[in-house]
Structure 1
Amino acid sequence: RPSRITARVRPGQGRVLDIEREVELGGPLHSKGVLILSSFLAARYATGEALSLSASLVFEQSYSGVDGDSASCAELYALLSALADAPIRQSLAVTGSVNQFGEVQAIGGVNEKIEGFFDICRARGLSGNQGVLIPAANVQHLMLRADVRDAVAAGQFHVYAVRSVDEGIELLTGLPAGVADAEGVYPDGSINGLVSDRLAEYARIRAALAHGGEGNGNGNGDT
């Protein structure tokens, strides 16, 4: 069944807090996925300085254990949304694992996950905007029910195969991901540019506080 994931961000010392793990509802594979996406953030956006970020991730209203890394892409998208202050389309569901290079990796149960979200969308009314993002590596595993295939053929539901976090965040926000130039600077208005700017702002706030100044910042995102 679909779960809602939310993220909160603020200046800090580079820690991404996995609330599921803190309350002992998150298993080791889920915690590993959070550590991997934290490594991706640091490697992409904090190449010349320490990552000045404090963030928290949680599965809202989950009352049982969470394990596996199938939600690590969704968690990363929530963090990017919060940092860029760019809303995510709530008509799209996400499944997929992410590695340290931002590549989307295959997961298990892809058919059941697509069909589960489709059933909820159909019960609420198909709008033509709903769909699921899956890893491109899982396309070969698709064996969807006839009603799902018919809805996709009619344009009432969509299945998007993505290879990278950049592809996914463009679909979810409608903004370009942005490619860094030779100096490592991302285009203005791109997701990567907005995230990079926010983290640079956090670094300035942290430096000011370290020298007795004042500063604050916050953000949030969900998917």
Structure 2
Amino acid sequence: MDDEFEKLFKVKVDFDDKMDTGKENELKIAQFISYYCKRKNIKHLDATGVAKVIEYCSRIAENQNKLSTRFSKIAELLIEADAWAEVDKEPYIRDKHIKKAYDEKIYRNNMIEEKMLEMYKTRKVIIDIKERKIGRINGLSVMNLGDHVFGKPSVITATTFIGHKGVINIEREVEMSGSIHDKGVMILEGYLSEKFAQDVPLSLTGKICFEQSYGGIDGDSASSTELYALLSSLGDVPLKQYIAVTGSVNQKGEIQPVGGVTEKIEGFFDICNHFGLTGDQGVMIPYQNIEDLVLKDEVIRAVQKGIFHIYPVSSIEEGIEILTDKSYLDIYERIKGKLHKYADSDNQSTASGKNLKRK
């Protein structure tokens, strides 16, 4: 933005930190690995080692179809993997050494994640991953500590009753909510109005809360999760607590992509794995985020065995059926019935109030 910049620097270039996958670019990664190993005089990689590095390049890029060009990250991985290959007295760095180096780096930086996981284990943070409950759902958020990013489940609850205040964001009321999160909650009221208030006014007050949250909340990646909780409360339909949800939603009920899906899935998986995988547990994500999944081996094996599940969805109607095992048409009819009762009760109380004033 500085006028002097254009005078001093005649050629400006934007360098991307990602590139497309494909044989040509994967070969370039392999060539960089070979060059770096020669330059630093460390062990070379066999084919499995190179494949694992390329896999982690996709993980850093957060996309199956992209590779990270942050070569400093690759270099750090190679240096530590060389040490583990030396410990094993192997002539080449193999995939297990790359994985060991990656896991050890996470271990050195995940103290806060471990402490939060311990709070779930000791029930200091209350979470249900086995039952079905009304107006309650497990959402997913991401915490970025700079050197380490991890997913954290959050319990979201919703209550609904007769009134005119619409959907109230409790975090906003106590000034713990960011503007993007506030926008996401306001979108929910737009969806409810279009679906259920075409012939009667929306006589509703609903309250949404992130339980046991003591810091600020921002972003709209939980907006679909909040909407499911509201629909559950209005329709008196229990939701599966063993399916965690992430995804943004618009006023038309279309699910929109979000960031950090890999970490979110792994965060919920770790908690389910600790308490015991039942075979029913899983995570619901926007279908647009499928290509962003670069999951750790433990999660992939659990999905392959059918003991953990990933559900890509494109609409609220599709998602509510997965969470309830009921037709969304049946659920919406129940909601319409309740909202009509709310409107009738509201009209009666208004009429009674007018009569009292006349008297």
- Fold match (TM-score > 0.5): yes
Q: Distance in 1 between matches of 2:225 and 2:160?
A: 16
Higher helix fraction: Structure 1 or Structure 2?
Answer: 2
Provide the identity percentage: 51
Q: Which runs of 5+ in 1 are unaligned?
A: 179-189, 214-223
User: Residues 83-123 of structure 1, C-alpha deviation per residue, up to 9 Å, x if partnerless?
Assistant: 00001011010000000000000000000000000000000
Q: In 2, are the aligned partners of 1:19 and 1:58 still within 8 Å (CA)?
A: yes
Q: After superposition, where does 1:117-196 map in structure 2 within 5 Å?
A: 117-178=268-329, 190-196=330-336
* Greater radius of gyration (CA): 2
Give the match for residue 58 of structure 2.
none
Quick one: higher RCO (CA 8 Å, sep 6+), 1 or 2? 1
Q: Distance in 2 between matches of 1:59 and 1:165?
A: 20
Q: After superposition, where does 1:68-147 map in structure 2 within 5 Å?
A: 68-147=219-298
Give the match for residue 46 of structure 1.
197
TM-score, length of structure 1 as denominator length: 0.89
Give the match for residue 211 of structure 2.
60
Q: Distance in 1 between matches of 2:301 and 2:201?
A: 50
User: Which runs of structure 1 show a deviation greater than 6 angstroms over 4 or more consecutive aligned residues?
Assistant: none
Q: Distance in 1 between matches of 2:349 and 2:299?
A: 54
1:3, CA displacement in angstroms? Answer: 0.4
Q: Distance in 1 between matches of 2:199 and 2:158?
A: 25
Q: Which of these residues, 188, 197, 201, is aligned with residue 341 of structure 2?
A: 201
Q: In 1, are the aligned partners of 2:235 and 2:338 still within 8 Å (CA)?
A: yes
User: Residues 127-178 of structure 1, C-alpha deviation per residue, up to 9 Å, x if partnerless?
Assistant: 0010000001111111111110110010110000000000110111111001
Q: Distance in 2 between matches of 1:25 and 1:39?
A: 22
Secondary structure in structure 1 of the residue aligned to 2:154: coil
Q: Distance in 2 between matches of 1:77 and 1:8?
A: 12
Q: Distance in 2 between matches of 1:145 and 1:47?
A: 47
Q: Which of these residues, 144, 148, 159, is aligned with residue 8 of structure 1?
A: 159
Give the match for residue 220 of structure 1.
none
Give the match for residue 187 of structure 1.
none
Q: Distance in 2 between matches of 1:108 and 1:208?
A: 47
1:14, CA displacement in angstroms? Answer: 4.7
Q: In 2, are the aligned partners of 1:11 and 1:52 still within 8 Å (CA)?
A: yes
Q: In 1, are the aligned partners of 2:281 and 2:309 still within 8 Å (CA)?
A: yes
Q: Distance in 2 between matches of 1:163 and 1:137?
A: 8
Q: In 1, are the aligned partners of 2:167 and 2:188 still within 8 Å (CA)?
A: no
Q: In 1, are the aligned partners of 2:161 and 2:204 still within 8 Å (CA)?
A: yes
1:49, CA displacement in angstroms? Answer: 2.6
Q: Distance in 2 between matches of 1:48 and 1:101?
A: 18
1:192, CA displacement in angstroms? Answer: 0.8
Secondary structure in structure 2 of the residue aligned to 1:16: strand
